[in-house]
Structure 1
Amino acid sequence: MPKKIDPELRARAVRLVREHQQEYPSVTEAMVAVSKQLGVSRESVRRWVTQTEVDAGRREGVSSQEHEEIKRLKAENRRLREDVAVLKAATTFFASMPQ
């Protein structure tokens, strides 16, 4: 299970990459420098920056809000499937009972 990162740290990392990317030959190198400075992985910083761009509409992809809605709908779908399975089992049980 992924560990929870403080949202303030995430926002700070994204802000630092944006503010200092012109000081580096590439955005990737800016991400590496920020990740070392903050003590988080380079991949985490890359994902945070990418997700922020998606959320702002500057890049294609699933926004954070859409992702949360998808998670909620999948959980609801799973619960409904379980309910249907229980109802089917109950129907089969009661249908097989002698009257």
Structure 2
Amino acid sequence: MGLYQLDTNLQLKHSYSSKNGLPNNLVVGLQEDNNKNIWISTKSGLSLLNTKNQNIKNFNVHDGLQGLEFQSKSIAKTFDGRIIVGGINDSMFFIQMIFH
């Protein structure tokens, strides 16, 4: 499946999948950050979609994640802009500036 961006007329604008950067096509959560980028949690890792250039940066255990699998719909932005992602093992906080 992956992720699809539609325009205002509901026409396909961009599609994102494992073919062009996502670690897995099973997307379980999305959250926009304060920089208008999109954090994407999947069943195989966490990704950051740069909405300006459409680049995808993937994060895994080598970047400090406790695991690769995330809970469905368990991603949110706190009032101060941190992104919280619910993993299978525990919840994790991400301060966006670390990953930019």
TM-score, normalised on structure 1?
Answer: 0.22
Q: Which one has a bigger Cα radius of gyration?
A: 1
- Structure with bigger RCO (C-alpha 8 Å, 6+ apart): 2
Pick the structure with more strand per residue: 2
